[in-house]
Chain A
């Protein structure tokens, strides 16, 4: 037993290392899958301790605990939620007295107390509150976000940050997600391998009930709630209030409407918490699914940082693990391929040098002459402006005056434009750089 502990060459605190005995067996000994050049011991511990890693979103408790117990020392966590009493059954870092406090903060304090030497920096807010400068400081991002929108956002941000001349700008993204008894863990190397946008078809669209069923023949308590949500609210309150699913008064109103309707159709079972669940589209979280998926994600992070074993996600290898616990336990791992026409990573913006005094019309003509593009009928926009649309006719008419304008009046130096053309499946992106 001592043999492994003793082989930690010059480990900073020999005594403290005892906690990591099992980890050190992996860090200090080559295995059947380690690379020939791989050096056992200290460098791996150092990599772990130096790695600044960000954990975001719903799988927070599990991910934070796993990272801390895997030897990571500099962990940041983003979560916008506060602790609800209903979290206590599975989110084991929280206690009754913490109800109402921000999850990120409480989780950070708890783990710091339990795992000596780990530094956890919490931020209570949305991932969208932070910009590229913030994400640039991390070596890796691991997330268990609960919405597709948030996933697409972080994905596009990390893909957009990659600078081919700077290794530090490439941040591996490890994404875990669960829905009831199903889950997935995947690794994305932004710009190098299939991204979340490439994999959008892996997310089943939310199951919806036909509107006419809701309106005429509700059969389930959920139908009555959806009716209150979609139809009654619009009829009676739309003018005055926008629905805020976090406002108890709004939920109570919907609950009462749904209950009245359920009584009318003799449907039992409408409750306040069911109303909340349906309106916010909450799928029950299963503690075991979360634990498995978070463990898979943190395991990937550990393997990427230490090179002790082949991780998911290297180009040409498996990058996606799906898990189903519906009946028995099943996992399937495969390679999701990068899509050439992916709007986020398929065609990264190319620099294009332009004279700011050129008119948009002349610029469009020049695109037709470019050998690699040959765009005959291009439609162009920036994030902010519609520059020129070939169709539909009304938009063509509205954007036509732009043709006579100079580029400098329409775009700023370094701004990105998206160009699509009926002849091409993909949309081209250019970063316009003004000639000095």
Chain B
């Protein structure tokens, strides 16, 4: 044991770090802070922090400027726990929308939010993935089975259904939230 300390003293530099009783910025906060500084939101996305002191919980708004969902305004909640980046952020769509990869509860089927998440991925990768879901809804990973079937079998009809759902209309007996700007 004595030997360890003499090694430590050799290793130690002039600087003087002392332990404090005060709370220290957590590893998850440090990482999120870094991720936020690297976020590229462009003109189609923005964030909102209900409590600016809490950077682990925020909402992301996406307003696609092309594709079938153009003209809509979509909100996502981000909840990050203290085990980030080991755990992925929990992301949900807070509106009820008609989309093959998003269910009525707002669960999202996006590989990097679950099975393909790795700590080297950052929040930017997640928002790029979300943006992509609106440009290229994916019928082969369905979370809303009817919508996926619809997209697969009748693309034009699916487009019409997306438009009417975005206007707050009903599709196949389900009423959706109005998300048009």
Contact = CB atoms under 8 A, between A and B. Distances in A.
Interface of A: 35, 47, 51, 132, 139, 148-149, 152, 156, 160-165, 167, 169-170, 172, 189, 191-192, 197, 200-201, 203, 205, 207-212, 215-216, 230-231, 234-235, 304-305, 307, 314-315, 343-344, 348-351, 379, 381-386, 389-395, 398-399, 412, 414-418, 420-422, 427, 429, 431
A415 B22 contact: yes
30 contacts: A51-B1, A162-B17, A163-B19, A197-B27, A205-B117, A210-B111, A210-B141, A211-B107, A215-B107, A216-B142, A234-B107, A304-B1, A304-B4, A314-B4, A314-B7, A348-B15, A351-B16, A379-B33, A383-B25, A383-B29, A386-B52, A386-B55, A392-B47, A393-B47, A395-B36, A399-B52, A414-B21, A415-B20, A416-B22, A421-B37
Contacts of A422: 37-38
A169 B5 CA distance: 10
B173 interface: no
B30 A394 contact: no
A215 B54 CA distance: 32
B136 to A, nearest CB: 15
Interface size class of B (residues with CB under 8 A): 35 or more
A413 to B, nearest CB: 9
A215 B19 contact: no
B27 A343 contact: yes
Interface string B112-149: 00110111000000000000000000000111010000
B20 A156 contact: no
Contacts of A216: 142-143, 145
A394 B55 CA distance: 12
B25 A393 contact: no
Contacts of A161: 19
A215 B143 contact: yes
Given A208-B115, A212-B109, A386 B53 contact: yes
B46 A392 contact: yes
A315 B11 contact: yes
B83 interface: yes
Nearest to B41: A392
Which 5 A-B residue pairs are closest in the complex by CB-CB distance?
A398-B52, A383-B23, A418-B25, A167-B5, A212-B141
Contacts of B54: 386
A101 to B, nearest CB: 30
Nearest to A412: B22
Contacts of A305: 1
B3 interface: yes
Interface string B89-112: 000000000000101110111010
Interface in B26-69: 26-27, 29-31, 33-34, 36-39, 41, 46-49, 52-55
Contact of A215 (B1, B27, B31, B142): B142
A149 B86 CA distance: 9
- The listed residue with most B CB atoms (<10 A of its CB), out of A216, A230, A305, is A216
A191 B8 CA distance: 9
Chain B at the A interface: SS class? loop
Given A304-B1, A349-B17, 4 more contacts: A167-B5, A208-B117, A215-B103, A385-B53
A395 B107 CA distance: 26
B17 A351 contact: yes
A427 B30 contact: yes
Nearest to A190: B8
Contacts of B47: 392-395
Nearest to A413: B22
A163 B18 contact: yes
A395 B52 contact: yes
B30 A389 contact: no
B103 A172 contact: no
Nearest to B114: A208
A131 to B, nearest CB: 9
A207 B33 contact: no
Contact of A418 (B11, B30, B143): B30
